[in-house]
Amino acid sequence: KQEVTQIPAALSVPEGENLVLNCSFTDSAIYNLQWFRQDHGKGLTSLLLIQSSQREQTSGRLNASLDKSSGRSTLYIAASQPGDSATYLCAVVSGTASKLTFGTGTRLQVML
């Protein structure tokens, strides 16, 4: 059974810092990995999707990397802003049913 873990559970940084969020998964036989953002009490916004054959994806200040063999992904956020404050979730698709398995999330607060 696939299990996804995110570290740290919570992170508080001053504005302007570069930061890294970590995601690990137990079964390396994944099809893809997706990073989401969730504002408090709201739905999820898709940030980046990395296929199993890819090493990284970039969108603006966000860069996600994937090391499938070691079961790890990182989300790098450059020059953090207060508007980046949210919970960040990673999720993987694995197995025959193509279902997303979600991580535990990292709650990020960027302070002025």
Partner 1 sequence: SAVISQKPSRDICQRGTSLTIQCQVDSQVTMMFWYRQQPGQSLTLIATANQGSEATYESGFVIDKFPISRPNLTFSTLTVSNMSPEDSSIYLCSVRRTGEDEQYFGPGTRLTVT
- Residues of the shown chain interacting with partner 1 in the complex, contacts defined by CB under 8 A: 31-32, 34, 36, 41-46, 49, 51, 89, 91, 93, 97-100, 102-105
Residue whose CB is less far from partner 1, 71 or 105? 105
To partner 1, the closest distance from the beta carbon of 32 in angstroms equals 5
CB of 76 to partner 1, least distance (A): 20
Which CB atom, from 10 or from 79, has the smaller least distance to partner 1? 10
What are the residues facing 2 on neighbouring strands?
A: none
Q: Quote the CA–CA distance of 72 and 52 in Å, as a whole number.
A: 11
Strands 99-102 and 86-94, sheet pairing: antiparallel
* Residue placing its CB nearer to partner 1 in the complex, 51 or 65: 51
Structure token digits, residue 82: 């207060």
Minimum distance from residue 104 beta carbon to partner 1 (Å): 5
Task: Give CB contacts under 8 A, 24+ apart, made by 45-53.
Answer: 47/75, 47/88, 48/75
